[in-house]
Amino acid sequence: VITSTPIPETLFDEIESYLRGEMDTGAAAAFNQRMAADPMLREQVTTVELMIAGIEEASFRNMTDSFRNDYTNVQQHPEIAQAGTVFTMRRLSVAAIVLVMAGAIAWYYLRPGSTGNLYAKYYQPDEGWVTNMGTEADYAFSRAMVDYKTGHYTEAAKAWQKTIDAGSQSDTLLYFTGAAYMANNDIEKALPMLMKITCQPASIFYKDACWYAGLAYMKKADFANAIKWISLSEHKDKTILLQQLRKK
């Protein structure tokens, strides 16, 4: 604590002499005894000690500030410039690798006849289902269908997934949840939903599920499964797409 109590000059000189180790042993011992018995003196000693420490540190910092100012230009110091160069080169190398990989991926998917290109050409999201907003149970499904039909696939998938997680396994729900994931470009989540319908030949969604499952496999470059499921669909583009897939 910095005391606000005035420190008389003679006492100040005495405290300073004590702190600087300029007292002889006897005087220092006597001063210690006075401090032990006098809290105010202890406070005054602490105050002077902190002030001296602060002055010293301010002066030392002032000196290091001048060192820093004399040493601001990294370019003048080859070893530091070299460190910066190594660092920059490392970043540039990473950037170059990322660019090459991005280019390769873009080329792979966009080249004529590529899987990515075929998928983009033949995939169209299912247009959705007529909503009737009937019973309360239907309401949640229908509300999500509105999201789906307005292109809010994430919201639709989230709402339908919640119903599935609660135990519902209707083919309509499974199919459109798969369709929403697929429209959202999430093939890994779409495929399990669609595959559950492909086990149900009696479902009104069976043929469509086969088509979309085939497209999903095609996107995953699993051409055998793509051909298998597209063959089971009745989509108008099935024949021409199968011809192209069989060339893979």
Partner 1 sequence: MAERREDSLKKTQDPAEIVAAFLHHKEDLLKKIYQENFHPVLHFVLNNNGTEDDARDIYQEAFVAVWNNIRKGQYQPREGISIAAYLHRIAQNKWLDKLRSVQFKRTERLAEETIELAEEDSNTEQEDRIRQVREQFVQLGEQCRDLLTGFYYQKASLRSLAEQRGWTEATARNNKYRCMEKLKALLTKKPIS
Q: What six digits make up the tokens of 55?
A: 């002055």
Query: How many residues interact with partner 1 (rule CB under 8 A)?
Result: 38
Instruction: Choose one: 1-9, 95-103, 176-184, 232-240; the region binding partner 1 (CB under 8 A).
Output: 1-9
- By beta-carbon proximity to partner 1, the closer residue of 67 and 236 is 67
Taking CB under 8 A as the criterion, the residue among 22, 33, 34, 65 binding partner 1 is 65
Q: What six digits make up the tokens of 59?
A: 């002066």
Taking CB under 8 A as the criterion, the residue among 83, 98, 102, 224 binding partner 1 is 83
Spatial neighbors of 111 by CB under 8 A, at least 6 apart, are 117
**Is 12 an interacting residue with respect to partner 1 (CB under 8 A)?**
yes
Spatial distance between the Cα atoms of 39 and 31, rounded to a whole number of angstroms: 13
Ordered alpha helix ranges (H), the chain = 9-19, 25-37, 39-70, 78-110, 115-122, 136-149, 153-165, 171-183, 187-197, 206-219, 223-231, 238-246
**Is 7 an interacting residue with respect to partner 1 (CB under 8 A)?**
yes
Interface residues for partner 1 in 85-104 (CB under 8 A)? 87
Q: Are 45 and 15 in contact (CB under 8 A)?
A: yes
- Residues composing the chain: 248
In angstroms, give the least distance from the CB of 92 to partner 1: 14
**Is 28 an interacting residue with respect to partner 1 (CB under 8 A)?**
no
- By beta-carbon proximity to partner 1, the closer residue of 26 and 39 is 39
| DSSP secondary structure letters along 21-46 | T-S-HHHHHHHHHHHHH-HHHHHHHH
In angstroms, give the least distance from the CB of 66 to partner 1: 8
Taking CB under 8 A as the criterion, the residue among 23, 52, 140, 173 binding partner 1 is 52
Taking CB under 8 A as the criterion, the residue among 51, 89, 96, 101 binding partner 1 is 51
Interface residues for partner 1 in 192-211 (CB under 8 A)? none
What are the backbone dihedrals phi and psi of residue 157, each rounded to the nearest 5 degrees, phi first?
-60, -40
Q: How far apart are the first and last CA of the chain?
A: 83
**Is 3 an interacting residue with respect to partner 1 (CB under 8 A)?**
yes
Give the footprint of partner 1 on this chain (CB under 8 A).
2-4, 6-7, 9, 12-13, 47-48, 50-65, 67-68, 70-72, 74, 77, 79-80, 83-84, 87
